[in-house]
Amino acid sequence: MNASRRRALQALASAGLASLLPLRASGAAGARVVVVGGGFAGATAAKYLRLWDPGVSVTLVEANREFVSCPVSNRVIAGTMSLRDITRNYDGLTAHGVRVTHDTATDIDPVKRVVKLGRGESLGYDRLILAPGIDFLYDRLPGLESAAARAQVPHAWKAGDQTMDLRKRIFALRPGGVFAMHVPKAPYRCPPGPYERATMVAFALQRANPRAKVLVFDANPDVVAKRDQFRAVWESRYKGMIEYLPSAELAAVDAAAQTLKLEAYGAVKADVLNIIPPQAAGPLARRSGLVGAGGRWCEVDFLSYESKVAPGVHVIGDAVGAAPGMPKSGHMANQHGKVCAAAVLALLNGQPVNDEPIIINTCYSFVGEREVIHVTSVHRYDREKKTMVTVPGASGVSPQPNAEEGYLALAWAFNILNDTFG
Amino acid sequence: MRMRGWWVWFGGTLLVAADAQAQEDLKARGWAAACAACHGTNGRSEGGMPSIAGRRADELYQILIAFKQDRKQATVMQQHAKGYSDEQLRRIAEAWARLTAGGAK
C-alpha cells in the first residue's frame, strides 16, 4: 500500500467514513507484513493475518524447513514418542497464502522499514512482527565457551537434534549411572519443562536402568512450576531415584570430565550432563536494540505487542518480557500471535486496537507413560497497570496425575500444532 | 406529517441496526481465537477436545456458563470459563456461531 493511499484511508477512518468503503477493500489490502521466526508465535501470527484478511501480503522468514515442537519433546527423550510426531513443515502456511522464505533475517532498519536477509534479499514492510524465540547465554557458563565443550553437554531446550542426542545419552547410561541436570534462574522458556524432563528421564530409567540416579540442580530456591504436583510424584513414584537440590548456582562446568561446579554443593561428577542455559530474546532482537533493562527481553505494549522502543515493530513469543504470571510457553506464544495479528490489521485499517485482550495458558506435563498434570491460567489486560494480569480464580492444576489428561495432552499437542501450522 | 416523521425515525433505526449486525464483533473474534489452540482453527478439533464448529450460540453459551458455575464436569474448562464475565462468554459463543454458521469452513 502506498503512503498516499494509507493517508487517504486514515483520513476516511478518522472522519468516520471508513464504513462506506466496500468490505474487502480494507486499508490492509496490499499492506506488507513481514514475520520473522516460524515457531508457535510467528507461524500463528502469519496464519491468522491471512485468515482474517486475505488482502494483506504476509512473508514469513524462517531459517529451518521444519519446525520441531518443544512441548511433548520430553516424551521423545524418554523414548515414548518419535521426533517425527512433533515435527511440522510450512506447507500449511503456504496454503493460507503466506509467502515462506527459508532464510535468516540479519538486520532491521525500523526507519526505512526494511528487513535484510542473509542471502541478500531486502523486504520492505508496513508492519514487522518479530518472533525470534530464545538465545542461550553461554557466556554466563564458564567452561562452556567453546563449541566443542557445548557439544558434550546437550541443552535439548530447542527441540531437534539436541533432543535425540540427549535421548541417546540417557539410554546409553551405564548401569547405576548418574544423570544430572541444571535449571537456570527464572525466567526461562517453559517453567515446568525442566521438572517434567527430570520426571520423564526417571520414568525411562526406572525400566531400563533402575539403579540409576537423576540429580536436579536448580538455580531457583524451589520448583518454579507445579511444585506440589511434581514433589508429590517424585515422592510417590521416583523416591530414591530423583534427588532435587535447590538454590544450586552454577559456578562452572568441566565438559570433558562431565562435572558441575556448584556454589552450594561443590563439584559433582555425572555420567550424563544436561544443562539448560540461561536465556534471552533471540539474537536479532538483542542486536537491534529491542531489549529492555537487563538486556534480555523485549518490552512491548500488550494491546498490540508493538515494541516500546521501535514503532512499527512488534515482538511476540518467548522473546517478550512477560507480564507477571505469564509463562514463556508455546501456548502463550500462539495466543500472542493472534492478539498481535488482530492488532496489526486494526492498525493497518486505521481501526481501534482491541483494548481488552484476554488470553489463556494451558500446560500439560507428563509424569509417566500416560499420566499428566496440568496448569491453566487466564490473563487479561489491566488498563490502569497497562500490563497483563492473571484473572483471580481462573487458574488451576490437576488434583493428581491422571491418564484422561494424558490423552488430552496429546490431543492438545496435535490441535495446537494444527492451529499454528495447519 | 406526524406519521412520516415516525417512518423516517423507524427506517433510520433499521439501518443502524443492520449496520451494527454487519460489523463483526472484532473484540469477541479475538477472544474466541484463544479457544482455537485446543479446539482447532475455525473450531474443528483433530480429536480429544470437542469441535466447536457449527453449534448454536445459545448452546455454546449454556455450556460455557455451566463450566463457569461448576455444573458441568471438565478437566480445564471449569478453570478457563471463570476467567470471563458472563457477557464476555455470551459474545464468545456468538462469535463462534457466526464464524462457523452452517458448519461451513
* Residue A90 included in any domain: yes
Same domain, yes or no: A7 and A131: yes
pLDDT at A324: 86
Lowest mean pLDDT among A12-21, A294-303, A380-389, B67-76: A12-21
Same domain, yes or no: A157 and A129: no
CB atoms B83 and A412 under 8 Å: no
Interface test with A, best of B70, B80, B88 (most A CBs within 10 A): B80
| Element of type H or E holding A415 | helix A403-421
Number of domains in chain A: 2
CB atoms B76 and A374 under 8 Å: yes
Environment class of residue A175 by beta-carbon count within 10 Å: exposed (0-12), middle (13-18) or buried (19+)? Answer: exposed
Same domain, yes or no: A269 and A286: no
From chain A, pick out residues whose CB is under 8 angstroms from the CB of B82.
Answer: 378, 391, 393-394
* Residue A30 included in any domain: yes
pLDDT at A293: 84
Whether B73 has a pLDDT exceeding 70, the answer reads yes
Residue B32 grid coordinates:
474466541
**CA pair distance A277, A297, nearest whole angstrom:** 15
Whether A152 has a pLDDT exceeding 60, the answer reads yes
- Contacts (Cβ under 8 Å, ≥6 apart) of A281: A132, A134, A135, A290, A291, A296, A297, A298, A315, A318, A319, A320
Which of A352, A380, A403 terminates a domain? The answer is: A352
CATH number of the domain where residue A270 is located:
3.50.50.60
Whether the Cβ atoms of residue A317 and residue A39 lie closer than 8 Å to each other: yes
Which of A290, A323, A352 terminates a domain? The answer is: A352
From chain B, pick out residues whose CB is under 8 angstroms from the CB of A411.
Answer: 38, 45-49
H helix count then E strand count, chain B: 5, 0
From chain B, pick out residues whose CB is under 8 angstroms from the CB of A391.
Answer: 82-83
Range of the domain at A43: 3-136+280-352
Same domain, yes or no: A245 and A325: no
pLDDT tens track for B26-71: 999 999 999 999 999 999 998 999 999 999 999 999 999 999 999 9
Segment A348-355 mean pLDDT: 96
Task: Select from 1.10.760.10, 1.25.40.10, 1.10.132.20, 1.10.1240.10 the CATH code of B25-103.
Answer: 1.10.760.10
Whether A33 has a pLDDT exceeding 60, the answer reads yes
Same domain, yes or no: A23 and A70: yes
Same domain, yes or no: A207 and A303: no
Whether A20 has a pLDDT exceeding 50, the answer reads no
Omega of the bond leading into A357 within 30 degrees of 0 (cis): no
CA dihedral A262, A263, A265, A270 (to 10 degrees): 10
Whether the Cβ atoms of residue A109 and residue A98 lie closer than 8 Å to each other: no
CB atoms A378 and B80 under 8 Å: yes
Q: Work out the pLDDT band at A21, boundaries 50, 70, 90.
A: very low
CB atoms B27 and A356 under 8 Å: yes
Q: Work out the pLDDT band at B105, boundaries 50, 70, 90.
A: very low
Whether A56 has a pLDDT exceeding 70, the answer reads yes
Q: Work out the pLDDT band at A400, boundaries 50, 70, 90.
A: very high
Which of A277, A292, A308 terminates a domain? The answer is: A277
Whether the Cβ atoms of residue A153 and residue A337 lie closer than 8 Å to each other: no
pLDDT at A37: 98
Q: What is the ipTM of this complex?
A: 0.90
Same domain, yes or no: A186 and A80: no
